[in-house]
Structure 1
Amino acid sequence: MRIARWETPGDSQVGEGFVVEDGVVPFPDGLTVADILAGGLDAAKAAFERVAADAGAPLGDVRLLAPVVPASVRDFVAFEEHVEGVSAGVEGKSHVAPEWYEAPTFYFTNPHTILGPGDAVSPPVTQRLDFELEVAVVVGGPGGTNLTADAAASSIFGYTIMNDWSARDLQAREMKVRLGPAKGKDFGTSLGPWIVTADELEPYLDDEGFLAIRAEVRINSELVGEDLVSNMGWPFPELVAYASRNARVVPGDVLGSGTVGNGGCLGELWGRGSTLPPLREGDQVRMTVEGIGDLVGTVGPAVPAPELPPARARPRTRHR
C-alpha cells in the first residue's frame, strides 16, 4: 500500500488516502493519515479493502504533499562511509569517532519546516547548500518505550524518502560549539512522495534484517550518488529501538537513516576531493529509491534573516 496526502486545485481541504495504480483514493469515513498510523498496518489493510475499488482522482490532477505531518523527526547518522567523507568536508579531516560504532546516534530536527514532493526549499543565506539522500521510517501503532528490536520492527508502519537539506557553512560553525546541527539544518526537510507500507518492502530484507534497496540522487539529471541502504551500520528496527530508550516513540514519528554513502551528499564528495559546486537557486535534486519512488525538490531563493549581535563580554559578577 502507498499512503499519501494531496491538494486538489479549487478544493481547500487536504486529501488523505491511498495511491492506487495512477490515482488517489481517500480513506473511508474521513480518516486521516494520523488515524491510519495510530491503527497500524492491520487497520490500514482493512481501510484499503473498503476503498481499493473506488474511483479516485488521477495523480496528474493533484499536487502531492508530504505524506505525514510528523509528530517528531529524528535523523540518524548510520552510514560509516558518509561519516568518513563528510567529516573531512565539514571538519577538515576524515574521522570516524570510536563512539560512532557503539550506538546509532541521532539528532532532532524541525517538524515544522517539512516540504513535500516538488516543493522548493527556501534556504538561509549560505555559500555551501547541500542535500542529503536518506530513507526514513514512519512509526505506526503501538510505538512504546524501551522497545526491543523485535517490538520496534512491529511499530515500523512504512518507509518514505527523506532529503535533509543542509547549509554546510552554518553547520560547521555550530558544531565547533559542540552542539547542533541546528540552523544548518532546520530550514527544510523534504519527505515523499508517499509512505510505502513495510510489508511491501519485506522482499528486500536480507538475512540480517537490513533493507537492501538501491538509492540514487541526481542534480539536474546528473547522477552524483548511489548506494544500497543495507550498507547502514544498524537495521531500521534497531534505530527505532534506540530512539525509544528511556523515551517514547509514537505513531507519526519519522526516523531518518542518515545520509547514504558513495555520494549521498555533496559534503561527503567534497571531503573526497570532488569539485562539484554547492547547490544554487534553480537546481533540481531528484532522489530515487527502489521500491518507494522519486522525490524531487528544487532550490528556491535564499531568505536573509534579521541580524543578531554577537555575544557581549559580561563581568561575571555574582550579586546585583
Structure 2
Amino acid sequence: MRIARWEHRGVVHEGLVHDGRVVAFPEGITVASLLASGLDAALALGRRVIASSEGEEPSVETVRLLAPLVPASIRDFVAFEEHVEGVAVSVDGKGGVPEAWYQYPTFYFTNPHSVLGPGDSVTPPQTEALDFELEVAAVIGAAPRGGANLSPAEGAAAIFGYTIMNDWSARDVQSREMQVRLGPAKGKDFGTTLGPWIVTADEFDDLVDEEGFLPLELEALINGELVGHDLFSNMGWPFGELVAYASRNSRVVPGDVLGSGTAGNGGCLGELWGRNGSRTPAPLREGDTVTLRIERIGELSGAVGATVEVPEIPPARARSRARSR
C-alpha cells in the first residue's frame, strides 16, 4: 500500500495511491492518525478505501505530490561503512573508518521544519560544496511500551513503511561547524526531501533476509546521469536494530522518520570526492536536478534553487571571563 499527501486544485488531500490514481481517506482520517493506528489497522482501512473508490479519482500525474507525512522528528543514521570510509578522506585527507562506528549505530537529529516534497527546489546556504545524499527512510508507526527501549524485533515491527530521503548537505559549512565537535547543523538543516509516498512494510516481506536486511537496489542520478548505485542490504545494521537503538533510554513515536544514512558507491558526491582526490564530479549548482531511485519504492527528484541572501552574524566577541560584576 502506498500512502501519500497531495495538492489538487488548491486543496491538500491525504490518502492512497492505487492503480495510478490518488484516493483520499474518509473525512477525519489523516496520515498521522493512520500511523498511530498501526500497520494492521491501516492495511484494513486501506482495503476498505480501495473497495469503495469509484475509479474516477485524479491521476497521480495530475496532482502535486507533497512530502508523504509531517514528521514528528527526523533522526539520520550513518549506517553504510563505504560512505564513512569515502567521506573521511574528503574531510581530513586520511580516510579510514573510526573504530567507534562499529560499536553502535550513530545518528543525529535534523530539522523537521525544512522538509521538502517531490519536485520541490531546495534553497541552499552560501556554499561551494553542495551535495545530495541517497537514503532510505523508515517511518515509525505504533510500538509497544510507547516506543521506549525496544528490542531489535520490536524495532522492526514498529516500522510502518519506507520512503526515499535526500539529506541535502553543504559540505564546506558542515566541515567548518564540525571542527567545534558538534553537529552537523547548518550544513544540513536547510532541506530534507521525502517521498514520493510511504510504501507499507508488508510490501517487502518477501525480500527481507533472516537477519532483517533488505537487498533493495538504490540509484542516484544528477541531471539524468547515474553517479551512484548500491544495495540497501550493505548497511552495517538491519533497520530494526537502528530503531531499537534510537529508542534506547528514549522513545520512538508514530510519525518519526529514521534515515538509513547515505548509501555507498556514489550515494553522495562527498564520498566520490574522497575517492577521486578532488571535487569530481563537480558540486551541485543552481538548476541541477537530483533523482533518487529505490527498488519497490519509486523515484524522488528535487532541483537546486537559488541561494537567498541572509543577515550576517558577527563573530564571537572577546570576553573578560569575569565571574562577578
* TM superposition score normalised by structure 2: 0.96
The answer (yes or no) to whether the contact 1:28–1:47 under 8 Å persists in 2 is no
What is the Cα deviation at residue 43 of structure 1? 1.5
Supply the RMSD in Å over aligned alpha carbons: 0.9
Per the alignment, residue 318 of structure 1 pairs with: 323
Structure 2 partner of 1:294: 299
Residue 152 of structure 1 and its aligned partner are, at CA, apart by: 1.0
Structure 2: unaligned runs, 5 residues or longer? none
Q: Which residue of 2 aligns with 1:252?
A: 255
Look up the match of 1:106: 107
Structure 1: gaps of 5 or more residues: none
Pairs within 5 Å for 1:82-93: 82-93=83-94
Alignment counterpart, residue 39 of structure 2, candidates 25, 38, 41: 41
Residue matched to 1:132 = 133
**Alpha-carbon distance, 1:225 to partner:** 0.2
- Percent same amino acid at aligned positions? 68
C-alpha displacement of 1:300: 0.3
Partner of 2:281: 276
Partner-residue secondary structure (3-state), 1:45: helix
Shift of 1:91: 2.7
CA displacement, residues 30-66 of structure 1 (integer Å, 9 cap, x when unaligned): 3000000000111111211211130321112210000
Question: Match of 1:28, as an amino acid?
Answer: P
Q: Secondary structure at the match of 2:271?
A: helix
Contact 1:28–1:50 (Cα < 8 Å) also in 2: no
Please state how far the C-alpha of 1:208 moved relative to its aligned partner. Answer: 1.6
Q: Please tell me whether residue 188 in structure 1 is matched to residue 191 in structure 2.
A: yes
The one-letter amino acid of 2:8's match is: T
Give the direction of change, closer, same or farther, for the CA distance of 1:29–1:46 in structure 2 (3 Å limit): farther
Letter of the 2:234 counterpart: N
The amino acid that maps onto 1:46 is A
Matches of 2:309 and 2:86, distance apart in 1 = 29
* 1:8 has 2:8 as partner: yes
Q: Does 1:162 align with 2:160?
A: no
90-99 or 104-113: bigger deviation: 90-99
Aligned counterparts of 1:26 and 1:148: Cα–Cα separation in 2? 35
Q: After superposition, where does 1:46-125 map in structure 2 within 5 Å? A: 46-53=44-51, 54=53, 55=55, 56-125=57-126
Which residue does the alignment assign to 1:172? 175
Q: State whether structure 2 residue 230 is matched by structure 1 residue 227.
A: yes
Letter in 2 for 1:7: E
Q: Secondary structure at the match of 2:33?
A: helix
Give secondary structure in 1 for the equivalent of 2:15: strand
Residues of 2 paired with 1:289 and 1:61: CA distance? 23
Distance in 1 of aligned mates of 2:110 and 2:5: 22
Matched letter for residue 137 of structure 1: A
Aligned partner of residue 138 in structure 2, secondary structure: strand
Task: Spell out, residue by residue over 1:86-128, the C-alpha distance to the aligned partner (whole angstroms, 9 max, x if none).
Answer: 1111233212111100000000000000000000000011000
Instruction: Look up the match of 1:240.
Output: 243
What is the CA–CA distance in structure 2 between the aligned matches of 1:2 and 1:82, rounded to whole Å?
29
Amino acid at match of 1:212: P
Q: What amino acid sits opposite 1:140 in the alignment? A: G
Aligned residues: 318
**Partner in structure 1 of residue 27 of structure 2:** 29
After TM superposition, the runs of 4+ consecutive aligned structure 1 residues lying more than 6 A away are none
Alpha-carbon separation, structure 2, partners of 1:35 and 1:93 = 48
Q: Deviations over 1:176-214 (max 9, x none)?
A: 100000000000000000000000012221222101100
- Verify the 8 A CA contact 1:121 1:297 in the aligned structure 2: yes
